[in-house]
Amino acid sequence: MESIRPSVTVVGSFAVGLTLRAERFPVKGETLLGRDFDMGPGGKGSNQAVQAARLGADVEFVARLGQDNFGEIGTKLYAQEGVGSTYLVHTPNCNTGVGFIVLDKQGDNFIILDPGANALFTPDDVDRAKERIQNSHVVITQLEIPMETAGRALELAQQSDAISILNPAPAQRVPPDVLKHADILTPNETELRIMLGRAPDAIVNPIDLCDELLQMGVQRIILTRGARGALIVTPDGYHTMPAMQVEVVDSTGAGDAFNGTLATYLARGMPLEPAVRHAVAAGALACTKLGVIPALPTAEQVEAALEHGQA
């Protein structure tokens, strides 16, 4: 592939996030007073595309948005951030995806998502971006879009010798015919359990679950573990990547910062371990500001965090 810049294609979701902060999460039937209301662009695919562009990658985002005011937020964002929008489809008579996010005082979150137009995203939409995928270094997708659509993106990437990355979030069972097309999986510990049919709180050794994935043909698993960093698992063994210690303000976009950064540095030809080290740093930096897009770091910020040993 002839490309001056690392080429990353993101096949995924866009949603507008509406965020509130409270001292704690409410219990059933309870109303709490909140603060710090924020509305801004989100969706795992969109966030990862912006992160990759902010790090200097040549990015195209393949997605469906609604023909509404929320969809216009996405269009303006991609123009500002330098994310390619050639393969965006604006869907009439369907709302753009919307996510409701609640943060507690520790910065932990829960999210409820209405996928909207994302639910209408089809494998045919991915096929329209086939030429772009064939000329990409890395293709990354997630599960806020239909499973068959994410699977088609991985399949086309693998056929084109691009590195295919599946970020299996939000957590759901992933069939073997999708897993077989993923060169790299990036679950957190809950997603790892659920994607293999375990209960979300099942007591099981994550290494054993990663071994199951290896036996199914997956070559590399990068298990994200929040404040405990990441675990790289390959047929040759496993390696622990320590976290960077930060004061957590908002953890909402940390996983997307991690995945967008991983995709970018792998697209640059960086070996897996240093690419994961950069991704861990980006994920930590993303926790230090309120809101997702404002918190996604630049390449200079990631390099500075690594140089000083902490974000």
Looking at the annotation, which residues are catalytic? 256
Q: What 3 state SS string does the chain have?
A: CCCCCCEEEEECCCEEEEEEECCCCCCCCCCCCCEEEEEEEECHHHHHHHHHHHCCCEEEEEEEEECCHHHHHHHHHHHHHCCECCCEEEECCCCCEEEEEEECCCCCEEEEEECHHHHHCCHHHHHCCHHHHHCCCEEEEECCCCHHHHHHHHHHHHHCCCEEEEECCCCCCCCHHHHCCCCEECCEHHHHHHHCCCCCCCCCCHHHHHHHHHHCCCCEEEEECHHHCEEEEECCEEEEECCCCCCCCCCCCHHHHHHHHHHHHHHCCCCHHHHHHHHHHHHHHHCCCCCCHHHCCCHHHHHHHHHHCCC
